[in-house]
Amino acid sequence: MMVPMPRPTIDDVQAALGRIEPFVHRTPVARCRAIDAWAGRQVHLKCENLQKVGAFKARGAMNAVLLLDDAAAARGVVTHSSGNHAQALAWAARERSVAAHIVMPTNAPAVKRRAVEEYGGIVHDCEPNLESRLARCAEIAATTGGTVIPPYDDDRIIAGQGTMAIELLMQVPDIDAVVVPVGGGGMISGVATVMKALSPDVRVVGAEPRLADDAARSLRSGRIEPHRGDPTATMADGLRTTLGERTFPIIHDLVDEIVLVDEDQIRDALRMVLERTKLVIEPSAAVGVATLGTESLRSLDADRVGVVLCGGNLDLGSLPRLLGTS
């Protein structure tokens, strides 16, 4: 018989918030009349695009770095990522004067590599495949004695991401539902943990691109499903990962539903947010907003809906392609 591992609790998230508060922003909640009118309800945008490093990933990374004891901290941290987690970990490590080793594939965009280096991270090359990434990561961890901090499938990370939900409940106490984009599931695991503990009537809705719908299928089948097609087909580059061993059971038990959106809905939402709220978001954040136009959300009895704008690291050069104007 399998003994279920303990999961992060609301106490872990509360502790994480106290721990990271001196370092991260309590991000504002934005309103926009045009989006309210389109959605037919009050929409409260939790602006993690205005978070440190431009994404919610700063929360989990900071929590994980601060949880290291001094001896571990002296040996540094290690991860493999070419996305926001890489920048977040480099930033968090520097805040504690800890070395951050970031394994990146040789074909990662130069701008991503430069961003990590600007935050003081040490970039290590690997071949552009998962085996090489994992091997290089393990090799560096073995050499340095550093602690591996994965991007989402980690209780320290889940608890850190959940802190945004405590803030949201303080900022909008009478919220009826919250929409959270789902990639590896670290963010929605943390948010659902908070909501079901502090305000269990709040409906927790995952938002996923139809072209990377592994979480929706995993909830239906009851186990972690791989991608069906090529997940890089979705413009939401932050949501191309599949659920993990730590995040899946939490999502399975606590998330009310996963809503899928098509690429044209993501594109329209991206344009609407840029034009109407004057906030820069990345495509993954537009996925959450896009769900507001779906039948699932339209038929939901919820006057006040929170939507996490999970990141703002938009590649401006790709905007014409994303908006279909090039």
Supply φ then ψ for residue 41, to 5 degrees.
-165, 175
Run of H or E including 51 = none
Stretch that binds a copy of itself, among 187-195, 202-210, 294-302, 313-321 (CB under 8 A): 313-321
d(C-alpha 78, C-alpha 71), whole Å: 15
Identity of the residue, 13 or 272, whose beta carbon is nearer to a copy of itself in the bound complex = 272
User: Helix or strand or coil: residue 151?
Assistant: coil
Least separation, in Å, of the C-beta of 312 and a copy of itself? 4
Stretch that binds a copy of itself, among 69-77, 180-188, 276-284, 294-302 (CB under 8 A): 276-284
Beta bridge partners of 46: 29, 308
d(C-alpha 255, C-alpha 75), whole Å: 37
Catalytic residue from among 82, 189, 218, 284? 82
Catalytic residue from among 46, 52, 57, 196? 57
Site for a copy of itself in 7-66 (CB under 8 A): 28, 49-50, 54
Least separation, in Å, of the C-beta of 147 and a copy of itself? 27
Binding status of residue 280 toward a copy of itself by CB under 8 A: yes
CA distances from 203 to 199, 257, 265, 268, 299 (A): 9, 9, 22, 25, 13
Among 210, 271, 294, 304, binds a copy of itself (CB under 8 A): 271
List of residues 6+ apart from 239 with CB closer than 8 A: 181, 182, 183, 208, 209, 212, 284, 287
Run of H or E including 225 = none
Secondary structure of 55-98 as H, E, C letters:
ECHHHHHHHHHHCCCHHHHHHCEEEECCCHHHHHHHHHHHHCCC
User: Is 82 known to be catalytic?
Assistant: yes
Among 6, 22, 222, 317, binds a copy of itself (CB under 8 A): 317
Identity of the residue, 110 or 316, whose beta carbon is nearer to a copy of itself in the bound complex = 316
Identify residue 310 by its one-letter amino acid code. Answer: C
Stretch that binds a copy of itself, among 241-249, 250-258, 261-269, 273-281 (CB under 8 A): 273-281
Binding status of residue 278 toward a copy of itself by CB under 8 A: yes
Cα–Cα nearest to 163, from 62, 79, 243, 290 = 62
Identify residue 306 by its one-letter amino acid code. Answer: G
Least separation, in Å, of the C-beta of 311 and a copy of itself? 9
Least separation, in Å, of the C-beta of 30 and a copy of itself? 8
Among 201, 245, 275, 295, binds a copy of itself (CB under 8 A): 275
Least separation, in Å, of the C-beta of 20 and a copy of itself? 17
Binding status of residue 181 toward a copy of itself by CB under 8 A: no
Q: How many residues bind a copy of itself (CB under 8 A)?
A: 19
List of residues 6+ apart from 247 with CB closer than 8 A: 152, 153, 158, 184, 185, 186, 188, 189
Residues that are catalytic: 57, 82
Residues that bind a copy of itself (CB under 8 A): 28, 49-50, 54, 271, 274-275, 278-281, 312, 316-317, 319-320, 323, 325-326
